[in-house]
């Protein structure tokens, strides 16, 4: 009898020790997308600046921009997942921000695409392929989270945004031979 009471109390204590996931608001998500947009801009600037040989400072800047972008997209995805269903008006604002972000992602992938010969001659193809794989997985997660949370009036638009990004990833990965 005492053993079952101890087990029940232990499970109750475990349940209390787990933090409750806070429901995120539409403004939190919009802020995350704005932060992600800034991080993506920094990464895109680093991509455009890549000229083949890379100094330690350039490498640090590039990696900081890439890792920052990864962190920001993970945070945005997490917040979208914890938001639950979004209202039509919130969905409209978030859809607009996601549309702009999609343009940035495609522009960044196009810039990565144009750097293929420089990357290849520098010997960084495998690193870029690994980064593209991670970036692709994260963007898929981001758009999937949006599709699950956004008002149904915008779901097909978000699917179209994801398709646009997926096409850019496919072209970039193909060019790099990943």
What are the structural domain ranges in the chain?
25-176
Residue 14: per-residue pLDDT: 46
**Each residue's pLDDT expressed in tens, for the chain with a length of 178 residues:** 454 455 444 444 444 444 445 677 888 899 999 999 999 999 999 899 887 766 656 767 777 888 888 899 999 999 999 988 999 999 999 999 999 999 999 999 999 999 999 888 888 888 889 989 999 999 999 999 999 999 999 999 999 999 999 999 999 999 999 9
CB–CB of 110/132 below 8 Å?
A: no
Task: Name the pTM for this structure.
Answer: 0.83
Alpha helices, DSSP H only, in 52-151? 56-83, 88-114, 116-122, 125-149
As a residue count, the chain comes to 178
Instruction: Determine whether domain 25-176 maps to CATH 1.10.132.
Output: no
Buried/exposed code over 100-120 (b: 16+ C-beta within 10 A; e: otherwise): ebbebbbbbbebbbebeeebe
CB–CB of 25/72 below 8 Å?
A: no
User: Alpha-carbon distance 133 to 152, whole Å?
Assistant: 29
Task: Give the Cβ contact number of residue 80 at 10 Å.
Answer: 28
């Amino acid at each position: 009898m005492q053993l079952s009471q101890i087990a029940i109390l232990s499970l109750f204590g475990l349940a209390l020790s787990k933090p409750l996931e806070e429901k995120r608001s539409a403004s939190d998500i919009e802020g995350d997308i704005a932060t992600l947009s800034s991080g993506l801009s920094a990464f895109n600037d680093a991509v455009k600046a890549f000229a083949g040989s890379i100094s330690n400072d350039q490498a640090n800047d590039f990696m900081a921009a890439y890792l920052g972008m990864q962190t920001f997209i993970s945070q945005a995805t997490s917040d979208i997942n914890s938001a639950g269903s979004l209202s039509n008006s919130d969905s409209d604002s978030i859809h607009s921000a996601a549309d702009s972000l999609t343009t940035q992602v495609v522009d960044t992938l196009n810039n990565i695409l144009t750097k293929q010969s420089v990357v290849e001659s520098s010997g960084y193809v495998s690193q870029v392929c690994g980064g593209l794989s991670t970036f692709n997985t994260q963007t898929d997660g981001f758009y999937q989270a949006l599709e699950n949370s956004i008002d149904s009036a915008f779901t097909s638009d978000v699917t179209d945004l994801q398709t646009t990004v997926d096409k850019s990833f496919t072209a970039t990965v193909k060019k790099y031979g990943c």
